């Protein structure tokens, strides 16, 4: 039996924590102290990758022998990045603007093995094709799901799916914020047994 590596999720997101719990491995969480401002001319993909690496590196500095996961997501229509609405009014405006559009979610993820210095990094895209939405539908949806802390103003794992025409991508967990298929491959490379050993 191999020794269990310490796994640290460098995120305070309840969505990412819930996703990582699906793997049934013990892990800690740590809050990365990283400024999330977009650089001039930075694409949604480049932003997600840079912030994922920065979050993992900032947390990794506190753990000398651990596997540290950093992740960040940006949602974009073209090069326009969609922020988290933060309020009902802004969410309604955002969904009205997204009606009939395709939104690409770029989820950046970085894994750092602080014992060896090895680093893995990727950006996993996932596209949501929105159907045409009328104001009454938007209002009903927002009052039921209250997705004010979600980029794009919807929760794909909740009622938000009722707003979609189609979804397109290799890993649906990337849309929620942590690409588990890729992460499992990396963790196995780092010596973590997945599925985990039964104790």
Residues labelled as active-site residues: 72
DSSP per position, the chain: -PPPPPEEE----HHHHHHHHTT----EE-------PPPTT--HHHHHHHHHHHHHHHHHTT-SS-EEEEEEEEEEETTEEE----SHHHHHHHHHHHTT-EEEEEEEEEEEETTT--EEEEEEEEEEEEPP--HHHHHHHHHHH--TTSTTS--TTTGGGGGEEEEEES-HHHHHT--HHHHHHHHHHTT--SSPPP-
């Amino acid at each position: 039996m191999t020794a269990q590596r310490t796994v640290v999720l460098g995120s305070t997101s309840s969505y990412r924590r819930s996703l990582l719990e699906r793997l049934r491995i013990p892990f800690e969480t740590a809050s990365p102290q990283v400024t999330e401002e977009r650089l001039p001319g930075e694409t949604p993909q480049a932003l997600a990758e840079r912030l994922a690496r920065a979050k993992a590196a900032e947390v990794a500095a506190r753990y000398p022998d651990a596997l540290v996961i950093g992740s960040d997501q940006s949602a974009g229509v073209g090069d326009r990045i969609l922020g988290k609405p933060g309020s009902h009014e802004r969410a309604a405006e955002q969904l009205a603007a997204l009606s009939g559009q395709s939104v690409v979610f770029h989820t950046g993820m970085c894994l750092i093995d602080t014992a060896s210095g090895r680093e893995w990094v990727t950006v996993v895209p996932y596209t949501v094709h929105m159907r045409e939405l009328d104001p009454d539908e938007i209002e009903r949806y927002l009052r039921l799901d209250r997705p004010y802390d979600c980029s794009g103003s919807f929760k794909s794992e909740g009622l938000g799916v009722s707003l979609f025409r189609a979804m397109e991508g290799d890993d649906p967990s990337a849309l929620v914020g942590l690409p588990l298929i890729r992460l499992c491959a990396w963790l196995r490379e780092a010596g973590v047994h997945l599925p985990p050993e039964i104790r």
